[in-house]
Chain A
Amino acid sequence: MIQVIDYKAGNLTSVLKALHYLGAETHVTQSSDDVRNATKIVLPGVGHFQATQLLHDLHLTEATREAIARGVPFLGICVGLQWLYEGSTESENTPGLGHFASKCERFPATDNNAELKSPHVGWNSIENIRENARLLRGVTPGSFVYYTHSWRAPLSPDTAASTSYGGAFTGAVERDNVMGVQFHPEKSGETGLRILKNFVEL
C-alpha cells in the first residue's frame, strides 16, 4: 500500500491513475499516523512551494522524517521533490524537509544573453543518469520526460539525473530510500511509467 499525501496542491487524479495502472494499491492521506506507519510514500504536488506549509501544520514533516529513517521508500514529485531540500526562494518562510542540502531557485531570466522563458514547460531529456539510481533503472540517457515548473534544485552528489534548461539542474534525486523527480512521471509516457514501476517494485 502506497500512502499518497494530499496537501491540497493540485490534483492527485493523474498520479493515482498511473499508480493503479501499474497495479499499485494506494491510500490518499493527510494523517501523520498513516505516514509514520507507511511502507511506501508518494508526495505529489504542483503549484506554489508555500502549499507545503500544510505538511508542517498537519505534523507530516516529523512523521515523514521518522518513516524515512526506518528506510521507507519515499518519492517526491515536482514540488514534492523541492520539499526534500532546505526550502525554496519561492516562499522564503516555508522550510522544506532539509533532507538534501541547498535551496531551490528560480530559473535565470536569461541564458547566453537570450531571454529564457519561464516556466519550463514541455518534454526535455534526462541525462547523466547515475548508474546506481534504482528509480531510473532501465531508463536510457536522453529519454524525454514532461516538465512544468519555474523553480529547480541545483546539482549535487545526490543528483540521479540532470536536465538542461538555462544550465543543468536536478531532474531526479536519490539517496538510499529517498527519491524525487522534478518532472511528472505520470505524464511522461512509457519512460514515466517505467520510473513509477521502478518505485512501485522497490
Chain B
Amino acid sequence: MLTKRIIACLDVRDGRVVKGVQFVDIIDAGDPAELAHRHAAAGADEIVLLDITATHEGRGTLLDTVKRTASELFIPFTVGGGIRSAEDAAAVFDAGADKVSINSSAIARPELIGEIGASFGAQAVIVAIDARRAANSSDPVGDAEVYVAGGRKPTGRKVVEWAIEAEQRGAGEILLTSMNTDGMRSGFDCELTALVSQAVQIPVIASGGAGTAAHFAEVFARGKADAALAASIFHFGVTDSRELKAELERAGVPVRLPC
C-alpha cells in the first residue's frame, strides 16, 4: 500500500539550519548534513532543504551544503531556494539533489517548470506555493493568495488557480505552505490543502503548522494530503519520525515504519 510521506524540512541560511515562526524570528537549529542524516535514520521519508535567503541574498554556500548533505543520503532529497533557470537547477542536481523546489521564479516565469522538466523529468520539479488566506473575502480559503519572496510579496494570484497551472505546465508535485499556520504548531490548514489536492492530480505536500501527530493524521484524512512536511516539530526533540509514525500507525494512517 502506498504510504503517506513524512518529509523533514531543513530551512537553511548561510549553511546553517534555522527555523522561523510565521516567516520571521529566525533561530539556529544546527548543521544541515548532520540533521538530514539524523532524520533519515529516524525514518523520515524524504528530506527537503530550502535555502530561505537565496531569493534575495544570492547563492552563497548552497551548492556546497547540498553536496555535503546528499553524500550518503539514500532517500529522496529536494532542494529549493534561488533556482531561477534550468542551469541553476542542473547545478543543484549535479550536487546531488533528486528534485528541485521552485517558488518565486516559477511565478515570475512559469515556463521554467517545463524547462526543468524537459531535462530532468516532471518528477524532479516541485512547485512550492506560499499561501495566505484572504482575510477580507467571503471565501477566505477559495480566494487564498500566492505570496513570493519568502512570504514578503503578494502576487494577486489565487492559490488553486496557480496550482492547476503549475500541474498543466508539468510540475511533479505541489508543496503548499500556509503562512497562516506556519510555525504555530497548531495544525495544518486542512481546508486549503484539501481544496488544492482535489483540484490537481499530482501529489500535494502539506506544510506549515505541524505540532502533534494528530495534526498529521488530520491533514492526511481531512486535508487529503499525500505527504506532510515539518521542520520545527523535529528539531528540538518534540518528536522524531519514528515516534510520529508509530502514533500515525496507531491512528490507522499507512506509513513506512523505520526498521
A residues adjacent to B (C-beta < 8 A):
8-11, 13-14, 17-18, 21, 46-48, 117-125, 144, 146, 148-149, 164-165, 184, 186-190, 192-193
Contact = CB atoms under 8 A, between A and B. Distances in A.
B75 A187 contact: yes
Interface residue SS majority, chain A: mixed
A24 to B, nearest CB: 14
B172 A119 contact: yes
Is chain B's interface secondary structure helix, strand, loop, or mixed overall?
loop
Contacts of B173: 121
A124 B2 CA distance: 4
B57 interface: no
Interface of B: 1-5, 40, 45, 70-72, 74-76, 93-96, 98, 119-124, 172-173, 201-203, 226-227, 256, 259
Contacts of A193: 74
Given A13-B96, A121-B226, A46 B74 contact: no
A122 B123 contact: no
B1 A164 contact: yes
A124 B3 contact: yes
Contacts of B95: 13
A122 to B, nearest CB: 5
Contacts, number: 89
Given A11-B120, A121-B172, 11 more contacts: A14-B98, A17-B96, A46-B121, A118-B201, A119-B202, A121-B203, A123-B5, A123-B256, A187-B76, A189-B75, A190-B259
Nearest to A187: B76
Given A10-B124, A47-B121, A190-B259, A21 B72 contact: yes
Contacts of A120: 2
A123 B3 contact: yes
Given A11-B120, A124-B2, A144-B3, A117 B74 contact: no
